[in-house]
Amino acid sequence: MAEAKPKQEAARTMLAKSPTGIQGLDELTGGGLPKGRVSLVCGKAGCGKSLLAMEFLVHGAVRYGEPGVCINFEETEEKLIANVASLGFDLRDLIKRKKLFLDYVFIERSQITEAGEYNLDGLFVRLAHAVKTIKAKRVVLDSVQALFAGVADTAILRSELQRLFRWLDENNLTAIVTGEAGVDTLTRHGLEEYIADCVIALDHRVTEQISTRRLRIVKYRGTAHGTDEYPFLIDEDGISVVPITSLVLSHKALKERVSTGIAALDEMMEGKGFYRGSSVLVTGTAGTGKSSMAANFARAACARGDLCLYFTFEESPSQILRNMRSVGLDLEKWVKQGLLHFNAMRPTSTGLEGHLAVIHRQIAQLKPSVVVIDPITNLISTSGSYDVKSMLVRLVDFLKVQQITSMFTNLTFAGDPQERTAAAVSSLMDTWIVLRDSKPNGRPRRELYVLKSRGMAHSREVRELIVSKKGLELGVVLSDHTVATHVAGQ
């Protein structure tokens, strides 16, 4: 057994990868596309396959020192340049610096008469010329099915395509061939039959007026890959895929503690507060102070110098700043110092997957120590039937791997205190704080208790939560202790 291991390791490293530079995709594929091989990227019109291919070329040229050739069968060079300019890619500059070569191949069938035997050497000559001119290491053919419209003899075309893919392999070029999705097949002309190494399918669905994009690795020879669909996002920075960050629960549990923002609550948690890198759920009915809790937690994070990223789905940042000022929390100061970053999104602007992709990207860019999502309810409500839990598992895992302390607020409804949340997310959370309204003797008050907190001996008392101009405080231990003795955590 001991001898077998290095051999296995060697086999794993033998399959060299060419990074795409696309966030998430390289993690999914264990490093990128198979180097020196042809990969197929397929999907319906508008699914993002051309963009994926173009990003592969641009990142290759800019980041990995691998010049690339794009043979485009559908759009002129000018159009292509204009299309990706909005993503901040300056193709003209790359072309000038011989990092990129574009060739628009166009066949006007009506102009052409066939009179005897032929092959597609013209295409080979053009590709070889382009590759030689810039010493290319990467090639994109986007999308070859246009040839089926231009060449009448499909038997010739098929054998020529096979020859073309073989030529790419022989010349050690890492290539992406794109193909339009067929009715029952991955591509209309069965291109997947010719491509043995890597096939990626993209999908763009609209359910309940919310569009979601998904990516699936159909096959990848020699690489263990998930067969799940992974949501991805196209925004002003291009494509990013939300990967599963950990297939196993291997994140390191930190022993360091961070303040909850409320001294008395810290006191309830062994006098030290949350564990750094843990995830905290705050649930409560409307008006119980969830957002104030979250804002207070963010303020405390900034005060100790932690970078905090605050996602809000209900209020604009300025609204939050104003509201929190009224309860004695000056968040503006931290925004100005660059320690607090707000990200406001409309829950319905995109699907759950889209939101998660945005969250992933923002976290990857800012690298915060603390993340607040206020409230997570809205994410759940946009998701329709798709498995909310698996998406949230990915998010929570991602945060834990990054050792980010996170707080999620969740709105519960009267009469339905915890069930909905409990089913979806509570098991993922290390700490669960419950807020509730109570009217003993006709005087309304807010109450707080810690329902669970893993890895610590926390207090099970119910305390009054006092939100005033002076900020958040806890009142005395309430005598009407009504919490069921819920033994959570270990």
The footprint of other proteins (CB under 8 A) covers 103, 105-108, 111-126, 128-129, 147, 150-151
- Residue written as tokens 């915890």? 418
Nearest to 187 by CA among 205, 202, 171, 197: 202
Contact assessment for residue 260 and residue 463, using Cβ atoms and an 8 Å cutoff: no
Residue 153: CB minimum distance to other proteins, A: 9
User: Based on C-alpha coordinates, what's the Rg of the chain?
Assistant: 28
- Nearest distance in Å: CB 252, other proteins: 56
Nearer to other proteins, 168 or 320 (CB): 168
Question: Tokens 């810039």 — which residue?
Answer: 134
Q: What angle do CA 267, 269, 272 make, to 5 degrees?
A: 70
CB of 98 to other proteins, least distance (A): 15
Residue type, 251: H
Distance CA 382, CA 351 (A): 6
Calpha distance 24→35 (Å, rounded)? 18
Least Cβ distance, residue 24 to other proteins (angstroms): 36
CA distance 132 to 365: 37
Whether the CB-CB separation of 313 and 343 falls below 8 Å is answered with: no
Q: How far is the CB of 132 from other proteins (least distance, A)?
A: 8
71 vs 280 by CB, closer to other proteins: 71
- Smallest separation (angstroms) from other proteins to the CB of 36: 23
Q: Find the farthest-apart pair of alpha carbons in the chain and give their distance in angstroms, rounded.
A: 98
Do 199 and 186 meet the contact criterion of CB atoms below 8 Å apart? Answer: yes
- Which among 423, 413, 410, 434 has a CA at the least distance from the CA of 484? 434
Q: Shortest approach of other proteins to residue 123 CB, angstroms?
A: 5
- Residue showing tokens 């069921």: 484
Q: CB 345 → other proteins: shortest distance, Å?
A: 46
Question: What 8-state DSSP symbol labels residue 2?
Answer: T
Kindly give the residue spans of alpha helices, DSSP state H, lying in 249-376: 263-268, 290-303, 317-326, 332-336, 352-366
Q: Pick the closest to residue 56 from 139, 149, 162, 180 (CA basis).
A: 139
Query: Is residue 12 within a helix (H) or strand (E), and if so which, with residue range?
Result: helix 4-14
Closer residue to other proteins, CB minimum distance, 128 or 335: 128
Token pair of 328, please?
């004695």
User: Strands 68-72 and 138-142, how do they pair?
Assistant: parallel
CA distances from 429 to 47, 60, 248, 279, 452 (A): 35, 39, 17, 5, 9
114/237 with CB nearer other proteins? 114
Could you tell me the smallest distance in angstroms from the CB atom of residue 315 to other proteins? 56
Taking the complex as a whole, the smallest distance from the CB of residue 75 to other proteins amounts, in Å, to 14
Q: Which is nearer to other proteins, 23 or 178 (CB)?
A: 178
